[in-house]
Structure 1
Amino acid sequence: MANKNTVQETFPVLGMSCASCAARVDKTLNQQPGVSKAAVNYASGAATVEYDPAQCSPQALQQAVQAAGYDLLIKKDKDTLLEAEQAHDKRYHDLKFRTTWAIILSVPIVIIGMFFMNMPYANLIMWVLSTPVVFWLGRSFFVSAWKQLMHGSANMDTLVANSTGIAYLFSLFNMLFPDFWLSRGIHPHVYFEAASVIIAFILLGRLLEEKAKGNTSTAIKKLMGLQPKTVTIITSGGEQQEIPIEQICPGDIILVKPGERIAVDGTVTEGDSYVDESMLSGEPIAVAKHQGIHVFAGTINQKGSFRFQAEKVGTDTLLAKIIHMVQDAQGSKAPVQQLVDKIAGIFVPVIIGIAVLSFIGWMVLDGENGFTHGLLALVTVLIIACPCALGLATPTAIMVGIGKGAEQGILIKDAESLETAKKIDTVVLDKTGTVTEGKPVVSELIWDTSATNAQAPTTEYMQSIFYSLEMLSEHPLAEAIVEHFGRTRFTEIEDFDSITGKGIMGRVAGKMYYAGNRSLLEEKHITLSPQLSDAAHRLTAKAQTVIWFADEETALTIAGITDQIKQTSLQAVKELRASGIEVYMLTGDNEATAREIARTAGIAHYKAGVLPQDKAAFISQLQHEGRKVAMVGDGINDSAALAQADLSIAMGGGSDIAMDVAKMTIISSDLTKIPEALRLSRLTVRTIRQNLFWAFIYNIIGVPIAAGILYPINGFLLNPMIAGAAMAFSSVSVVSNSLRLKGKKIQSEVKPSTEKIMKKEFKVEGMTCNHCRMHVEKALNSIDGVHATVTLEPPVANVEFSKGEKTLDELQAVVTADAGDYTLKE
């Protein structure tokens, strides 16, 4: 376990040519003093290392890797990424050049070797053409194999160098000293075409592999290309000045013109516009921006123009953190990769052993042709074995899956969480900020229009008084009323006073006005009209908070305030339940509010009045029942539960602590991204299993056939050239299968509900306690197409009909039969 002083860094690794290389670098790093954990990803060409700076340094790690025959890039700036990208481009273009010429030179060798073997100087021509292919275009295999030998190890290049080198030298001997074999009655075959074509095929495979590996990291490249290179700042003198993005400092005022990308994170100070944030959140609809609203680096301004103050720059921006998180996640290893790493670490020595045993077996059992057949078997076994396919099977799928998630606004912290997500059967949702918006809003504003009220309360004058009172209030709900009225004219308030727990009051033009709860108005002996009282009962039944506004004599209006359910929550819950996942909701709010939110969202199980420690205990309880639990939250109070869950998911609009603890982050705070993340996990794990199956099957079948196991049965011996082609394309097929993930759809097939829901309220007579209420509610909810919420104060039943309205007699019959002597009235 890493101590608190441990840091984690990701370094590009140069010189790896196969999974065995990655296994050796991995082993080397993990053996260094102060390193608590290191993981090398062959597909991404990077090493993620956790180490104690007091015991180890990047320079020490670099020296250790260099001693093993590879290199580590340790600079901590953009030059590191640039150098790694340049190394990739150089490697790709070098491979392209060598592959092209290897194919050009190999074609005539194959034609001569297959069809014109008896033409004059055939062997000499093939030798002249194959020599540059093997020792010039294929020199990297021999150089790498020699380096590995010097360090006491072996890799894929060792297999290629041994097989092609043996085939070439054996052919050269047969060409120069044919009589050695002729005197023994054996025809001196040459295999120059095999040596050159094997080099050509493997180079082609490496070229395609390099290109495919580059495609797996397109998500990172897209994210890194989102920031502009220059920005326009407003100087202290009010002048516009264009500067490089690196020179931006927190506090600078930046001008964003129509169509420009936003350079850093900040807050709008002037102007209005709409901003396309799809590249961060995955949401296609542009977001309105005005004074006081946050903007983020990499997003695109639409038609308007605005200014904003820079707050987070450089590596502190949301975009930079996303890039860092995706890079770390793509470099992490899934648990299934551990077995593959162990196999890759011993793969090459085992294959060399099998090749030697094949040669000895042929020598012992075949007599006259034993040497020739044994040599062919040795060369073919060395060629056909492919640790690259095993090494690429898991990381390429992980890279594509995590990259696809990032493009959809789903940030996945590591490969393990992506694998875990497939097993989830229970999702626990925090209420505030997760199921709901987390921000109180006015749902209804009802003015008293009854005949008993002679006022004209709907005038702008009364609105301005209500607005001005709430402007002076420090109560959290006051902001909802202020925002509801918008830019209403402010009216001067005299003798303003706040009455703790009840409301506020103030004088305008000699008349006192009040805003607060019902008890405040009753204390002041203010008249409450039946119209407003009935409306207040209805809002209370829906678990909404009611704010009253009145003058000295009469209540003028009520405001229903609620934390609205997100539009996406209903669809997300429906999708999760449709896929067989149980959904729970936890909240510290009261029972009535929790019940109403759960009912509206379609959540069958909920717990109200839950403290932070209770949330973690509830998760633990579900786990003890054998469930795999995902916790979704957004606040500091959710951090313990997030840490306890098998899979922790944070809403992007929540606290930094929640996002630090969570294994996944939903940038847009859109709950429908949860089922999308689970579907992405299932697709990725399925792809990994497909890749591993084909990689293992390829080697399990290919190596024995190459050794000649079919020869005693049907006389079949595998041609080394065909073995080279099979090896080259095995790793390409694995990467190509991973890239298919990019085209997979992770959006839901479950259509949003189009049912028309009718609502009706009934008075309930005969209820005397909470047990009565529960009996009536349970009876009504037992009716198909009926969803009911019953309250005791006032004694009413709010009923929703999703499959056609039921008559009062139908409802009464069920209540009488199932609940007892209770009466419903319209």
Structure 2
Amino acid sequence: MSAATTLTLKLENLSCASCVGRAERALTAVDGVESAPVNLANETARVAFSGPATASKLTDALDRAGYPARRETVVLEVGSMTCASCVGRVERVLTGTPGVLEARVNLASERAFVTYLAGAISPDELAAKVSKAGFPTHPRADATSKGPGDKEAEAQALKRKALLAAALTAPVFILEMGGHVFPAFHHWVARSIGLGTSHWIQLILTSLVMIGPGRVFFSKGVPALLHGAPEMNALVALGTSAAYFYSVVSVLAPGILPTGTANVYFEAAAVIIVLILIGRWMEARAKGRTGEAIRALVALAPNDALVDVDGQTLTRPVAQVVTGEVVVIRPGERVPLDGEVIEGESLIDESMITGEPVPVPKTKGDCVTGGTVNGTGALKARVTAVGPDTLLSQIVRMVEDAQGARLPIQALVDRITAVFVPIVMGIAALTVVVWLLIGPDPALGLALVAGVSVLIIACPCAMGLATPTSIMVGTGRAAQLGALFRRGDALQTLQSAEIVAFDKTGTLTQGRPEMTAFEAADGFKDEEVLAMVAGAEAQSEHPLAQAILRGAEDRGVTPAKVRNVQTVTGFGLHAEIDETQILVGSQQFMAREDVPLTDLVDRADPMRAKGHTVFFVALGGQLAALIGVADPIKPDTAPALAALRAMGKQLAMITGDDPATAAAIGHQLGIDHVNAGVLPDGKVAAVEALHNKFGKVAFVGDGINDAPALARADVGLAIGTGTDVAIEAADVVLSSGALSGVVNAFEISRRTMTNIRQNLFWAFGYNVLLIPVAAGVLYPVWGILLSPMLGAGAMAASSVLVLTNALRLRFVRPILEDAT
């Protein structure tokens, strides 16, 4: 029986002794729990358990009982990871720690995203456990990404090691390989310094390489071997040690080796270390560029702000500014923090956050976002958010969370790399045995070369980098184009969506109705009738009334003074002016009030066909005018839908609007499937119906009533100008209100997944093809045996190639620019 584990859990919703009893019963009902006393005062449960109970089973039981254990998430900065095997080892250390519910490790960003039970363990304890396993780790202290200086310093350190190793290796390589290339050089060495002296020089210089720049492979690889978790460093340590110690025996005690096999391979051991260090140097440089998009976002926030204090302008660090203070934003400066304009007018360039190239006008009452660039006007703004609450900080966290995600495609990589290194070691051992049994003379030397080549060439670095580097660069580029992936797996799901469904109001349309037409009947003057209607509508808060008022204002018409305004719900309104009765409402309202219908009614049909809502005006019992009101389609809606159709996507509209209006809008925009007149739960049913009929559904919406559909869709995309509820329910947030962001999100998703598949094809294909070559399958036919040095070069090149391919995503161009 396994020893009991004790966890202290912080519980929520505890309010009385009954709650304590229910929580205790829920915990003790889990098979394997020995005791679970719950303390109401400090709201904790101390649970002693053993198998088959697990932390996940305990939290599930508490969730069902209504007293969930508090979860927290920490980001750990993990050092010294070099390959997919390292990632697996770190994840095993974390997930094997009591209290940890989930751990995702990203090789490209060198971070671990850990969800754990509050009270069961601390971030410092988690970091200590990973550090003890050989990967120096510390919790991330703030919300910003690693600065470029971190990666630059690492690259410079690797560069110094590589150059030192190269300087020590160059004489070894020349002394040994020079003689193979130029036989005359071999004879000159033999005559001048002697082969024995040459071998001693090689031994000394290679020893310096091994214990100097190459020490890192042994300090990490040997402990990994001893722990039964071999990884890349272990393969390099085994390969170079085999070549080195065989050569040492050949120099110091050649008599113990079979006749003719006392050869030296110092150059192989030294050059392998040089090439892999150069590869790691190039990797560090490339990794430093994978997070450039996020660092660029972080760099948008200025360090200082001009604060207005009692009429005096003081310069203060942004970190010391608090909400409610007033900041001064001079022309051309960046906005220091989120705020509300209280004075001044200007244009703000928000393209760095929204992707929209056109500056946005700002005046009193408008919101400004920290990091955006002020135009030629001066502004004063009252600060509304600071620190992690600013929009810029939220965007950075959102993108970093997506970058740390594990895509479904990663599961394949994980399964393979979990067994890859042990299999490679087995293949290398088998290779040596086969060469010793059936290989030609000198069999021992050839067996050593083949075995070392297999170990070196098979390092799974490229496999570990293939997916996370593409995710990092792709999500960063998406953020620059105005599409923020809140969930990383949406990056994979979005490109496979078969149909894109849209809400209408505020998504396809502006979300604010406008008066599109006003036509007076014969015998009536437009301005006089419109003034009366505006006067009546001025006393209503209805959006359609406000649209008519704005229309009158645009036409320079002043509302007339009317009295006795009465609303008839669902139909229209009554009013009076100078003893004349005014009626404004639908055609049914006119018929109900016995107003004779004239040919003016016929003019309404073309408007209705375009999706406009039509009202009529009657003065003194006569039909006097008709009014057309519509919610204008956004300028970029038609181009965005056309681009999605060109991608092969089906289009749908799900709206609570009138079916006739929705049908007209759908026909105008070329939408394939229109579902109108639905309530929020009806939108969920409509999404499910589309999913059952077509496959994966992406839903685009902006309102509170869209939140259920956004959550139900395979991928939910929320318009960034929409409600917080909608944004929280979405997988992707479009930071501007433009639908061009939908198209660009699809393009980034498609390009990123293509990039990942290219990386995986290369990473897996490289190993599948070259491991047999390294083992010597070509030797019997063509006499080709891959040199360990070439294997090391190919292995280093494979990782650099994967990183370089991922970096191409930085240059993805938007399919559509914002048309607003």
Q: TM-score range by the shorter chain?
A: 0.7 to 0.9
Per the TM alignment, residue 700 of structure 1 is displaced from its structure 2 partner at its CA by: 1.4
Give the whole-Å Cα distance in 2 for the aligned partners of 1:268 and 1:435: 29
Aligned pairs for 1:144-543 within 5 A: 144-149=220-225, 151-181=227-257, 184-186=258-260, 188-235=262-309, 237-366=310-439, 368-446=441-519, 448=520, 450=522, 452-453=523-524, 458=527, 470-484=537-551, 495=563, 497-501=565-569, 516-517=584-585, 536=604, 538-543=606-611
Per the TM alignment, residue 44 of structure 1 is displaced from its structure 2 partner at its CA by: 1.3
Give the whole-Å Cα distance in 2 for the aligned partners of 1:624 and 1:304: 54
Is residue 587 of structure 1 aligned with residue 655 of structure 2?
A: yes
Query: Please, which runs of 5 or more residues in structure 2 have no aligned partner?
Result: 1-55, 179-184
What TM-score results when the alignment is normalised by the length of structure 2?
A: 0.83
Per the TM alignment, residue 197 of structure 1 is displaced from its structure 2 partner at its CA by: 1.0
- What amino acid maps onto 1:370 in structure 2? A
Corresponding residue of 1:609: 677
Corresponding residue of 1:104: 167
1:31-62 Cα offsets, whole Å, 9 max, x none, are 22232221111111111222221434323322
Check the 8 A contact 1:333/1:414 in 2, yes or no. no
Corresponding residue of 1:40: 105
Q: Which range is displaced more, 426-435 or 539-548?
A: 539-548
Give the whole-Å Cα distance in 1 for the aligned partners of 2:586 and 2:773: 87
User: 1:622 and 1:550, CA in 2 relative to 1: closer, same or farther beyond 3 A?
Assistant: closer
Check the 8 A contact 1:13/1:70 in 2, yes or no. yes
Check the 8 A contact 1:526/1:552 in 2, yes or no. no
Corresponding residue of 2:46: none
Check the 8 A contact 1:511/1:551 in 2, yes or no. no
Give the whole-Å Cα distance in 2 for the aligned partners of 1:305 and 1:445: 40
User: 1:466 and 1:18, CA in 2 relative to 1: closer, same or farther beyond 3 A?
Assistant: same
1:663-712 Cα offsets, whole Å, 9 max, x none, are 11222232233233223222222222221111112111222222222222
1:93-112 Cα offsets, whole Å, 9 max, x none, are 21111112222332332222
Check the 8 A contact 1:427/1:629 in 2, yes or no. yes
Check the 8 A contact 2:533/2:559 in 1, yes or no. no
Give the one of 119, 132, 135 matched to 1:70: 135
Is residue 562 of structure 1 aligned with residue 638 of structure 2?
A: no
Corresponding residue of 2:31: none
- What amino acid maps onto 1:641 in structure 2? A
Give the one of 76, 82, 96 matched to 1:11: 76
Partner of 2:674: helix, strand, or coil? Answer: strand
Check the 8 A contact 2:470/2:755 in 1, yes or no. yes
User: 1:464 and 1:98, CA in 2 relative to 1: closer, same or farther beyond 3 A?
Assistant: farther
Give the whole-Å Cα distance in 1 for the aligned partners of 2:681 and 2:148: 47
Q: Which range is displaced more, 531-540 or 515-524?
A: 515-524
Give the whole-Å Cα distance in 1 for the aligned partners of 2:576 and 2:568: 18
User: 1:191 and 1:496, CA in 2 relative to 1: closer, same or farther beyond 3 A?
Assistant: farther
Give the whole-Å Cα distance in 2 for the aligned partners of 1:616 and 1:307: 44
1:448-502 Cα offsets, whole Å, 9 max, x none, are 485x23x6x638xx87776565444322223334444559798795756442435
Per the TM alignment, residue 556 of structure 1 is displaced from its structure 2 partner at its CA by: 7.2
Give the whole-Å Cα distance in 2 for the aligned partners of 1:629 and 1:734: 31
Give the whole-Å Cα distance in 1 for the aligned partners of 2:530 and 2:311: 39
Per the TM alignment, residue 223 of structure 1 is displaced from its structure 2 partner at its CA by: 0.9
User: 1:478 and 1:414, CA in 2 relative to 1: closer, same or farther beyond 3 A?
Assistant: same
1:339-391 Cα offsets, whole Å, 9 max, x none, are 21122222222222222222222222237522222222222221111201111
Partner of 1:283: helix, strand, or coil? Answer: coil
Give the one of 716, 737, 746 matched to 2:805: 737
Per the TM alignment, residue 329 of structure 1 is displaced from its structure 2 partner at its CA by: 0.7
Corresponding residue of 1:786: none
User: 1:147 and 1:468, CA in 2 relative to 1: closer, same or farther beyond 3 A?
Assistant: farther
Corresponding residue of 2:783: 715
Check the 8 A contact 1:503/1:520 in 2, yes or no. no
Give the whole-Å Cα distance in 2 for the aligned partners of 1:255 and 1:482: 36
Partner of 1:589: helix, strand, or coil? Answer: coil
User: 1:520 and 1:688, CA in 2 relative to 1: closer, same or farther beyond 3 A?
Assistant: closer
What TM-score results when the alignment is normalised by the length of structure 1?
A: 0.83
Per the TM alignment, residue 549 of structure 1 is displaced from its structure 2 partner at its CA by: 6.7
Per the TM alignment, residue 609 of structure 1 is displaced from its structure 2 partner at its CA by: 0.9
Alignment RMSD? 3.1
Check the 8 A contact 2:512/2:543 in 1, yes or no. no
Per the TM alignment, residue 273 of structure 1 is displaced from its structure 2 partner at its CA by: 1.7
Give the whole-Å Cα distance in 2 for the aligned partners of 1:257 and 1:507: 52
1:575-634 Cα offsets, whole Å, 9 max, x none, are 222332211111111122111111221113211111111111122222223522111111
Per the TM alignment, residue 15 of structure 1 is displaced from its structure 2 partner at its CA by: 2.1
Check the 8 A contact 2:222/2:237 in 1, yes or no. no
- What amino acid maps onto 1:480 in structure 2? A
User: 1:418 and 1:518, CA in 2 relative to 1: closer, same or farther beyond 3 A?
Assistant: closer
Give the one of 122, 129, 134 matched to 2:205: 129
Per the TM alignment, residue 718 of structure 1 is displaced from its structure 2 partner at its CA by: 1.4
Partner of 1:477: helix, strand, or coil? Answer: helix
Corresponding residue of 1:809: none
Q: Which range is displaced more, 563-572 or 436-445?
A: 436-445
Aligned pairs for 1:599-638 within 5 A: 599-638=667-706
Check the 8 A contact 2:165/2:274 in 1, yes or no. yes
Give the whole-Å Cα distance in 2 for the aligned partners of 1:300 and 1:308: 14
Give the whole-Å Cα distance in 1 for the aligned partners of 2:112 and 2:518: 59
Check the 8 A contact 1:589/1:608 in 2, yes or no. yes
User: 1:683 and 1:726, CA in 2 relative to 1: closer, same or farther beyond 3 A?
Assistant: same
1:535-590 Cα offsets, whole Å, 9 max, x none, are 55554453323456787798876543211111211122222223322111111111
Partner of 2:319: helix, strand, or coil? Answer: helix
Give the whole-Å Cα distance in 2 for the aligned partners of 1:556 and 1:299: 50
Is residue 545 of structure 1 aligned with residue 613 of structure 2?
A: yes
Percent identical among aligned pairs is 38
Q: Which range is displaced more, 632-641 or 202-211?
A: 632-641
Is residue 698 of structure 1 aligned with residue 771 of structure 2?
A: no
Give the whole-Å Cα distance in 2 for the aligned partners of 1:483 and 1:138: 75
Per the TM alignment, residue 714 of structure 1 is displaced from its structure 2 partner at its CA by: 2.4
Give the whole-Å Cα distance in 2 for the aligned partners of 1:475 and 1:692: 57
